[in-house]
Amino acid sequence: MRREKLKPDYKDMSWMIFQQEFKKEDDCYKWLFKTRWPNGFICPKCEGEKFWWISTQKLYKCANCNYRVSITAGTIFHKTRTSLMKWFMLIYRMSTSKTGVSINEMKRELEIKDYKTVWTMAHKIRKAMADRDAKYNLAGLVETDESFFGTSKPGNRGRGAEGKRIVLIAISIWKDKSGKERPGFAKAFIIKDASAETIKEVLIRTGVADNEIELLIKKIRTDGWRSYETVSNDLNIGHYRVILKDPKDTIKLLPWTHRLIGNAKAVFSGPHRGISPKHLQRYLSEVCYRFNRRFWGREAFHRLLFACSTTNTITRDELMEKYKVS
Ligand SMILES: [Zn+2]
């Protein structure tokens, strides 16, 4: 399907402005239309520019060849039975909340009876967050560490503790003008184990741009776990290992990965308490998405709405499938 090049025009949006811009269902459809066809309708089949709007089916019909285009195709809203107003409100709340929204609370506020409906919507939005972040690569110096999430049973780091999921956290680090370290892009993935092979695979996947072969990651900073030494040798990248005299030192010596782990643990002990390991990856994606956009303030809603409007949806059945770990 042909699409025009999308040029996002992100705007600041407070709750006040949101309520003015999106008063009714039609306003949401107009927004989607403008995002999809910034220069006016173009038929994907014949490139005709005249169309009919079939409001009962939310379809555009090409006036030239009669081809029907769903306005929600290629968005997370495709085939939804929930009003776009409710979707947009949920996106607003998820984009502006610091720690994530409670499904029960949103169920009440959006006046949706079924918990599952709101839960599924939230996971579709998380999928859009993950898809958006997948477009960005890690580069330069990357601080990386693992952490355990889930119900606890002590286990071995190399093989993974039982009942818990090992999560690899990796964050690009850059220096500002005054030479001060700043965290750049962050990623977090559930991994099956902390072996060199697994870590290498994740770093290659996140550190090589599309259609390129060169690894953008030049150096890793770690606690010196043996896998990382192998990884740095195999990938021919630098390795800065911090010396931990006390486990508490990790917060000082690997500050950025530990800040992200802290964010995630706060979320998982708050609004998303007791999440199933099956869905953990999407919650991690949400934490990273938020971390990666912490300075974008009131553009947050527009950016997330754009992400949701430019990626394919996921069905409830697909959401319930077992997550394949890296
Ligand atoms: Zn046409």
pLDDT tens digits, 19-50: 999 999 999 999 999 888 888 999 989 999 99
Residue 2's pLDDT band (boundaries 50, 70, 90)? Answer: very low
Residue 76's pLDDT band (boundaries 50, 70, 90)? Answer: very high
- 227-265: per-residue pLDDT in tens? 999 999 999 999 999 988 887 888 889 999 999 999 998
- Give the count of alpha carbons within 13 A of 180, CB side only: 2
pLDDT value, residue 222: 95
- Provide the mean pLDDT of the chain: 89
Q: How far is the CA of 305 from the centre of ligand 1 (A)?
A: 28
Q: How far is the CA of 315 from the centre of ligand 1 (A)?
A: 29
What integer is the mean pLDDT of 293-298? 84
Residue 1's pLDDT band (boundaries 50, 70, 90)? Answer: very low
Distance CA 94, CA 86 (A): 12
Q: How far is the CA of 77 from the centre of ligand 1 (A)?
A: 23
pLDDT value, residue 249: 81
Q: How far is the CA of 51 from the centre of ligand 1 (A)?
A: 8
Choose between 325 and 240: higher pLDDT. Answer: 240
- In the block, residue with structure tokens 């997550």: 323
Q: Is it the case that residue 143 has pLDDT exceeding 90?
A: yes
Closest by CA to 74, choosing from 117, 44, 110, is 44
pLDDT value, residue 149: 85
What integer is the mean pLDDT of 63-85? 93
For the question of whether the overall pTM of this predicted structure is more than 0.75, the answer is yes
Q: How far is the CA of 42 from the centre of ligand 1 (A)?
A: 8
Q: How far is the CA of 128 from the centre of ligand 1 (A)?
A: 29
User: Residue 50 corresponds to which tokens in the numbers above?
Assistant: 């005249």
Closest by CA to 122, choosing from 94, 150, 153, is 94
Q: How far is the CA of 52 from the centre of ligand 1 (A)?
A: 11
Q: Which DSSP letter does residue 208 get?
A: B
Q: How far is the CA of 81 from the centre of ligand 1 (A)?
A: 27
What integer is the mean pLDDT of 263-281? 82
> 87-101, 272-286, 302-316: which range is least confident on average?
272-286
Q: How far is the CA of 183 from the centre of ligand 1 (A)?
A: 48
Distance CA 35, CA 306 (A): 8
- 93-105: per-residue pLDDT in tens? 999 998 889 999 9
**Which are the contacts of 59, defined by CB distance < 8 A and separation ≥ 6?**
53, 68, 69, 70, 71
